Chains A and B, each alone.
Chain A
Amino acid sequence: MKAPLSWIKDYIDLDGIGIEELANLLTNVGLEVESVQLVGVEKPAGILKNKYFGLPWDKEKFVVAEVVEVNQHPNADRLTLCELNDGTGITTVLTGAPNMVPYLGKGRLDQPLKVAYAREGAMLYDGHQPGQVVTKLKKTTIRGVESRSMICSEKELGISEEHEGIIELDADAPVGMPLVDYMGDVVYEVAILPNMARDASILGIARELSAVTGRPLRLPQGIALEDGGEITEKVGLEVRDTELNPRFMLGMVEGTQARKSPYWVQRRLSLAGMRPIDALVDATNYTMLEIGEPLHAFDYDLLRERAGGKPTIITRTACEGEKITLLDGSEPQLDTQMELVTDGVGPLSIAGVMGGGETGVHGETRNLLIESANWNFINLRKTLSKTRINSEAAYRFSRDVHPALAETALSLCLKRVQEWGGGEVVRGVLDDYGKPYEDTVNRLSAENIAEVLGQEISLEESTQILERLGFTCWMEGGELVAKSPSTRTDIETGIIGQRNLIEEIARVYGYERIAGKRLSDELPPQVGNPDLEAEERIRDIMVSIGLQDTLAYRQTSPEREARLFIGRKAPQGLTYVRLKNPITPERTVMRRSAMATMLELLEYNTKFRPGLALFELGPVFLPVADEVLPHEALRLSIGLTGAWDVASWDRPQSKAMDFFDLKGVVEALLDGLHLEGVKFQSTAHPSFHPGKCAEVRVGEEILGVMGELHPQVKKNYAFGQDPVLVAEFDGEMLVRLSSEVFINRAISGYPAMVEDIALIVDESVPAEDLEALIWQAGGKLLVDVKLFDVYRDARLGEGKKSLAYQLTYQAFDRTLNDKDSLNIRNRIVKQTKNTFGAVLRSQ
C-alpha cells in the first residue's frame, strides 16, 4: 500500500513529526515501511533506517507557473510555444505536449493554465528514457527555437510514468510558488499484514498513527444517506444469498460528466499507484483507497438499455455455462461457486473482483449507478484461486471488509462524484443488509495482559490505546470491556479475542518497552536426539577422512534419476512424490536416489578439480502404499573420482582412485562408527561395473551398495577417463547400528614379534574368508594381520594367487620366543591348508 503523506494529513495532524520518524512509527506499529519515495522533498539528514528514493525539487528551479498563450512552433507541427508567466515575467517555453494543442491559436487565454515549470539547470527525470534516469535540464535548440526550460509531465517529476501530456495544475495554484511547497510529498510504501487488511486504506493508516501518537483522527464526511426514495423507481435489487453477499447497496448520480478530476486527486491516485481515468472512476478508486471499501460504477443508461426498461440488479452464483467479458478483456471460466452481480439479462461483474466491459462507465457516461457491497471473503478466495485475477478490489475483499464500510464508502463516493464530475445525486439508496455483522465484545483483566506479556500495562492505558484504535470501552466489575469498531472483523471472542486485544495493546504500547526476561519455568524431561547426534558423528568422520560435506536439493525429475541406468531406462514402477506445480521441468518430483544426486554433484565439479571426494547425508522420499506421507529415508552417499592426492609443485598427481579407495573410505567410516560384523560381498547392480560392485552387510542386514560406475551408465554423464566410484548406504541403519560405546583394547607392554607369511590359494578363495581363518587359527597371541601383497604368476599355477600377510604376535604377560611364533605359524598353515588348500609359498 502506497500512502502519500499529504493524504494521510487530511485525517490527522502530523506537524512536528519528521519524515524518518513517521516511517519508524509506522514500522513499529506493524505497518512495515518498505520504502519512502520523496516527491520533490529533500532527504532527511542523519542515519536513516528506511530506504529512500526520489528527487528533490530545487526551490529556485521548480515553480508553479501559468501558460497565458499557446502558439504554433514555426517549424514543427507537433510542437507548441507557450507564453508562460513564472512569477518573475513572461518567457517562451517549447513543448510537445498534446494537451496544449486545443489551446492553439486562442490568443490570450481567459483562464491561464497552471503548470509545473522547471528552469534551466533543474535536475529531473528524463522523460524520454524508460525508468527513472536523472538528467540536468540544459539549453537546446529544437528546430530553430531555443529551449532553456520546460513544462513538466508527471514522469519528469517522479509522480508517475505518464509522459504524454504536461500536468495541468488546479486553477488555484499560486504562480511563482516553489513547486515543492505547493505539491511536494512523501509516499510511504507499507506492507499490509494479513490481519491488518483494514489498513489497506489511507484512513486505516491514519488511525494507526492516531493510536500511536495520541493525536485525534478526523473522519471524512460524506453525504447523508436515506433508505429508499427516488432511486427505487430507477433500479431494483435482489440478493439471492446473504451468506455470500451480506450487504449490497446502490446509489445513483444523474447528469455527470466523465471529465478530468481535479489535479490534486489525480496526483494522489498516481502517487498511490493507481492511474487516474476520469472524475467518475477516480471517485470510486479514491474512496476505495481512502477507506478500504472497493466500489463499482455502472453506466445506468446501458443497464436500462439491456433491460429494456427499469433494470434490476441481482446477485447470485453463476449458472452452468455462463460467460462474461471483463473490463480487461479477459473471459474467465465461470463456475457455480462464483458469486456474480447480474441483471435480468446476464452477468455484469464477478462480485468483488472485476466488472464486465459491457456496462462499465466510459467517456460518455451521464448517469451513474454505484455499487457498494460486501462479499463473503472465503467464497471470493475460491473464485480467485480459480480465475487468478488480481485487482485492487479483490485484494481487499479477499481479506474481509467490514460491511459497515459499504455505507460509509457510498456516502463518500456519491459526494465525490458530484463534486468532481458534476450532476445530481438521486435521492435515496438501495440497501440490502441481509446479514448484519455483530461487532465482538471482549473482557480483559490486568492479569490477562500480564500473563501474556510478562509486563503490566494498566487497564487505563489499555483503554486509551483501544479507544484510539476505534474500540468502544467501558469498565465492568474491575475488567475492561471492549467492543470492536465497525471497521474491522479480525477481533474474535473468548480467549482468542482476549489475545487479539492484548496484541493491539502491546503493539501500540510498544514492543520495545517490554523488557526481556530469562526463561524460568521448569526444564522439560531431558531427552536427547541420538539420531541427530549419530548423523553429525557420521559427518565428522567423513570430514576427518577428507571428504567434503554437501547439501542436496530434494527436488529432481525422474528423467534425471533415470541417468543411473543404461540407456537412461529406469525400471518400471518407480513411484515418486510428484509436485502438482513444479517450478521447472528439471524439478518435478522429490528425489528417490541419493546416488543420482551424488553423480550430478561429481559431474558438475569434475571440471573444477582433478580429484573429488564428496559425501551427502540427507533424505530420499519413497512413497508408501496406503500411507499419506512418504517414507523419508536417510541416505549416505559417497562419491569419488580422479586422484585422491592433491598435486603439488614437486609431486605429480597420483593415479586415479579405484574401487579400493572407495572401500578404504567406507571401512574407515564403519570403523569410526564401531560397527561390528561388516562384510563386503560381490553383487550385481544395474548402475555398477559387474565385477567392481559390492554389497555391504552388517550381520544379516544390507547397509548398501558401492562400486565403480558401469561404463555405459557413466556415458549418461559428462565424465572423463577416470573411474567414478559411488556408494549409497541406508543412513538410518548406520545410525541404528553405530555405537558410541565400544570396548577399547589394552596395549601390551611386552615386545611384539612380526613375521611375513605368503599363502597360495585358488583365485576363488575370497581374501576376506582367508583372513578370517588366519585370525581364527592364530589364537589370542595373534594381534594383527595385514595383507601387503597380492601376487599372480604362471609359476604359481593356473588360477592361483599368492596373498602375503604381515603377522604380529604379542602376549600380555611375557616376551614371546621363537617356539611361540613357530606354533602359531604352524597352526595357520595347517588350518588354511585344510580349509582352502592353501600352500605356504617358499621364501
Chain B
Amino acid sequence: MLEIEEKLQAELTRGIEALQTVVTVESLEAWKQDFLGKSSLVMQTYGSMGKLAKEERPIVGKAVNQLKVGLEAALAEKEEGIKTASQQETFTKETLDVTLPGRKPRRGRIHPLHLTLRQIYQIFADMGFQIYRSPEVETDDYNFTFLNIPPYHPARDMWDTFYTDKEGVVLRTHTSPGQVRVMRERAPQNIRVILPGTTMRYEQLTARSEIEFIQVELLVVGKGITFADMRGTLNDFARRTFGENARTRLRPSFFPFTEPSAEMDVQCFVCGGEGCGVCKGTGWLEILGCGMVHPTVLRYGGYDPGVYSGFAAGMGIDRSTLMRYHIDDIRHFRNNDIRFLEQF
C-alpha cells in the first residue's frame, strides 16, 4: 500500500470522527472547509494527481474517490440530522395550546319548530302523504260550521276563539278548516294529506300556553278507510318519532268533526313509562287527537259518507318540541331570543 493510500484512509477516519463533534450549521460549514474544501486533503490530492507516476494514478484516484464518497455520505447524514433537530426546535416554538377555543364562524340554524315540522313532513311523506296548507284567517264556516260545529253548539266551547271585526271571520283555532278545503278541491279523489300551520286561540300567555301555536293535522279519505287504518298509521308515526319500541294507547275523546274520536298517548320517551317530570308522573304523554271523519264533514267536503270514509288526526307541535328538548317555556318559540335559538 502506498503511503498516500494510508494517508487518505486515515483522513476518512479523522473526518468521520471530527464530524461527530459537529452540532451546529456553523461548525458543519467549518468541517466542510476542512475536509472537502479547496485546501482539504481530498481536493489537494485531486489537484496533485498530475504529478503522480502513471501507474500510481488509478490507485490513488480510486482511494481519493472512496474518501470523497465516504466523507460526503457522512456529511449528508449529518446535515439531515441537524436539519431535523433545528426543525424540531421550530416546532417546539410553534406549539399551540390546542385547548384554546376555535374561532367560531357565524352559523345559522333552523328554528326548532321548523325542525319538528320538517321531521313530520318526512315521516308522512314516506307514507305517501302530501302537504296542503290553508289560510290562517278563516271564515266561521270553515273553522266551525263545515266541521259539524254549528253556531251555539256546545262544542264551540272547546275553542277560545279570536274574532275579527269582520262578521264571520275568525283566526283559525285549528288546522281542521283545511280538511274541508282540501276535500272540496280534490273530491272525489282519494286524499292523503297533512295540514300544517299556525293556529291561534284566545288563551292566557304563560310558560305552558300560547295564543299562537303550530298544528299538524292529517286527513285520509277514500273507500274502506277504517279506525284500524288510523291506528296503524298513527302507530307508525309514533314509532318513527319516538323510537322503534314506542308504545301508544288510544282512549275515547270527542271532536265534533270525527266520530268515533280518540286521544292518542305515547309512553313517555324520557322515563319509558316509569313516571317522571316530563310526563308528570303518569308515564304517558298526550300527543294527538284523532278519529273517523264525521259524515257531516265528508258531506261538506263533497264526499258521500255512504261511499267514502276517512280519518283525521291533529297534534300541536309546540308542546311535543318542548318535551323533546326539555324547553321550560313555550313563549321562547316566538320571542326568538337568540340565546335560545342558538342552541339548535
Chain A positions near chain B (C-beta within 8 angstroms): 27-30, 32, 47-51, 193-197, 377-378, 381-382, 385, 398-400, 450-455, 495-496, 499-500, 502-503, 506-507, 511-512, 514-529, 531-532, 536, 539, 542-555, 577-584, 587, 590, 601, 604-605, 608-609, 611-615, 619, 621, 628-630, 632, 644-646, 648-649, 651
Residue contact A532 to B133, C-beta cutoff 8 Å: yes
Which 9 pairs, one residue from A and one from B, show the smallest C-beta to C-beta distance?
A: A454-B226, A454-B228, A30-B252, A516-B232, A193-B254, A516-B231, A543-B108, A503-B260, A546-B106
- Please, which residues of chain B bring their CB within 8 A of the CB of A400? 154
B223–A579 touching, CB < 8 Å: no
A512 touches B108 (CB 8 A): no
Q: How far is the CB of B188 from chain A (nearest CB, A)?
A: 11
Q: Indicate if the CB atoms of A621 and B103 lie closer than 8 Å.
A: no
Given contacts A499-B260, A519-B192, A648-B101, 14 further A-B contacts (CB under 8 A): A454-B226, A454-B227, A454-B228, A506-B227, A506-B252, A514-B227, A514-B228, A516-B231, A529-B132, A549-B110, A554-B200, A578-B164, A619-B136, A629-B139
Cβ of A579 and Cβ of B163 under 8 Å apart? yes
Check if B224 is an interface residue, CB within 8 A of chain A.
yes
CB <8 Å contact, A579 and B254: no
Complex Cα distance, B235 from A194, in Å, reads 27
> What CA separation (Å) do A521 and B259 show in the bound complex?
20
Please list 17 pairs of residues, one from A and one from B, whose beta carbons are closer than 8 Å in the complex, sorted by A's number: A32-B251, A47-B274, A194-B155, A381-B154, A495-B306, A506-B252, A511-B251, A514-B250, A517-B226, A546-B105, A577-B164, A604-B336, A621-B137, A628-B169, A629-B139, A632-B137, A648-B103
Interfacial chain B residues near A551, Cβ < 8 Å: 111, 113-114, 333-334, 336
Contact B211 A583 (CB under 8 A): yes
Given the complex of chains A and B, what is the CA–CA distance between A161 and B135 in angstroms? 48
Q: List, in ascending order, chain A residues with CB within 8 A of B105's CB.
A: 546, 646
Give the CA-CA distance A609 to B107 in the complex, in Å.
Answer: 13
Q: Give the CA-CA distance A626 to B25 in the complex, in Å.
A: 93
Question: For the complex, what is the distance from the CA of A499 to the CA of B292, rounded to whole Å?
Answer: 9
| CB–CB B338/A579 < 8 A | no
Q: Which residue in B100, B101, B154, B234 is a CB contact (below 8 Å) of A398?
A: B154
A548 touching B252, Cβ below 8 Å: no
**Is B190 a contact of A549 with CB atoms below 8 Å?**
no
- On whether the beta carbons of A51 and B282 are closer than 8 Å, the reply is yes
Q: Which residues of B contact A (CB under 8 A)?
A: 100-111, 113-114, 118, 127-128, 130-133, 135-139, 152, 154-155, 157-158, 162-166, 168-169, 171, 186, 189-192, 198, 200, 202-205, 211-212, 220, 222-236, 249-254, 256, 259-263, 273-275, 280-284, 292, 294-296, 305-306, 309, 333-339, 341-342
Q: Report whether A519 and B229 are in contact in the complex, using a CB–CB cutoff of 8 Å.
A: yes
Q: Which residues of B contact A548 (CB under 8 A)?
A: 108-109, 338, 341-342
**In the complex with contacts A452-B226, A496-B295, A539-B110 CB distance below 8 A:** yes
Q: Which of B103, B169, B211 is in CB contact (< 8 Å) with A629?
A: B169
User: Could you say which residues of chain B place their CB within 8 Å of the CB of A378?
Assistant: 152
Q: Is the CB of B107 within 8 A of A546?
A: yes
Residue pair B189, A644 in contact (C-beta under 8 Å): no
Cα A195 to Cα B118 in complex, Å, equals: 35
Q: Which residues of A contact B152 (CB under 8 A)?
A: 378, 381-382, 385
Do A499 and B228 have beta carbons less than 8 Å apart? Answer: no
Q: State whether B165 touches A496 (Cβ < 8 A).
A: no
Q: In the complex, which residue of chain B has the Cβ closest to the Cβ of A385? A: B152
Is there an interface contact between B109 and A555, defined as CB atoms closer than 8 Å? no
Contact of A195 with B135 in the complex, beta carbons under 8 Å: no
Which residues of A have CB within 8 Å of B130? Answer: 524, 526-529
Which of A520, A525, A613 has a CB less than 8 Å from the CB of B189? A525
Q: Is the CB of B224 within 8 A of A30?
A: no
Question: Contact partner of A197 among B154, B205, B309, B339, CB < 8 A?
Answer: B154
Given known A-B contacts A628-B166, A632-B135, A651-B103, A549 and B114 have beta carbons under 8 A apart: yes
A507-B260 in contact given A551-B334, A649-B101 (Cβ < 8 Å) = yes
Chain A's closest residue to B228 (CB) is A454
Within 8 Å by CB of B262, from A511, A525, A539, lies A511
> Are A496 and B341 in touch, CB under 8 angstroms?
no
Known: A452-B309, A579-B164. A553 touches B296 (CB 8 A): no
Task: From B106, B186, B254, give the contact of A613 (CB < 8 A).
Answer: B106
In the bound complex, what is the Cα–Cα distance between A160 and B336 (angstroms)? 44
Chain B residues near A611 (CB, 8 Å)? 106
Question: Residue of A at shortest CB range from B168?
Answer: A628
Q: Give the contacting residue for B131; candidates A454, A526, A529, A632; CB below 8 A.
A: A529
A554 to B231, CA, bound (A): 34
Q: Chain A residues with Cβ under 8 A from B228's Cβ?
A: 453-455, 514-517
Which of A30, A381, A577 is within 8 Å of B137, CB to CB?
A577
Alpha-carbon separation in the docked complex, A601 to B338 (Å) = 9
Chain A residue numbers with a CB within 8 Å of B305 are 495
| Shortest Cβ distance from residue A22 to the other chain B in the assembled complex, whole angstroms | 15
Q: A523 CA to B191 CA in the complex, in Å?
A: 8
If the complex has contacts A515-B231, A554-B136, A608-B338, are A580 and B164 also in contact, measured as CB distance less than 8 A?
yes
Bound-complex Cα distance A47 to B275 (A): 7
**Alpha-carbon distance A528/B335, docked complex (angstroms):** 32
**Complex alpha-carbon distance, A651 and B104, angstroms:** 11
Return the chain A residue nearest B227 by Cβ: A453
Contact B128 A502 (CB under 8 A): no
B289 to chain A, nearest CB (A): 11
Expressed in whole angstroms, the Cα–Cα distance for A628 and B137 within the complex equals 10
The verdict on A521 contacting B198 (CB below 8 Å), with A546-B105, A546-B108, A628-B168 known, is: no
Query: Does B104 lie within 8 Å of A544, measured CB to CB?
Result: no
B283 CB contacts on chain A under 8 angstroms: 47, 49
Closest to B223 in A: A521
Looking at the assembled complex, report how far the CB atom of B297 sits from the nearest CB atom of chain A, in whole angstroms: 11
Q: A519 with B220: in contact, given A550-B336, A577-B137 (CB under 8 Å)?
A: yes
- Does B190 lie within 8 Å of A49, measured CB to CB? no
Kindly provide the distance from the CB of B80 to the nearest chain A CB, expressed in whole angstroms. 36
Contact (Cβ within 8 A) A195 B339? no
- On chain A, the residues within 8 Å of B222 by CB distance are 521-522, 524
Bound complex: CA of A48 vs CA of B282, how far in Å? 6
Complex Cα spacing A587 to B201, Å:
13
Q: Which listed residue (A524, A542, A583) contacts B186, Cβ 8 A?
A: A524
Known contacts: A47-B273, A511-B251, A516-B232. The answer to whether A506 contacts B137 by CB under 8 A is no
CB-contact partner of A28 in B223, B251, B342, under 8 A = B251
Q: Which residues of B contact A506 (CB under 8 A)?
A: 227, 252, 260
Set B118, B192, B294: member contacting A536, Cβ < 8 A: B118
By a CB distance below 8 angstroms, the chain A residues around B259 are: 496, 499-500, 502-503
Whether A521 lies near B224 (C-beta < 8 A) is yes
Do residues A50 and B282 form an inter-chain contact, with CB atoms below 8 A? Answer: yes
Question: Are A580 and B165 in contact (CB-based, < 8 A)?
Answer: yes
Complex CA distance for A114 and B161, rounded to whole angstroms: 52
Which A residue's beta carbon lies closest to that of B158? A194
Q: Which residues of A contact B200 (CB under 8 A)?
A: 554-555
Q: Which residues of B contact A536 (CB under 8 A)?
A: 118
Q: Which residues of A contact B250 (CB under 8 A)?
A: 511-512, 514
- In Å, the complex CA distance between A381 and B154 comes to 8
Q: How far is B164's CA from A477's CA once the two chains are assembled, in angstroms?
A: 54
**CA separation between A527 and B261, bound complex, in Å?**
29
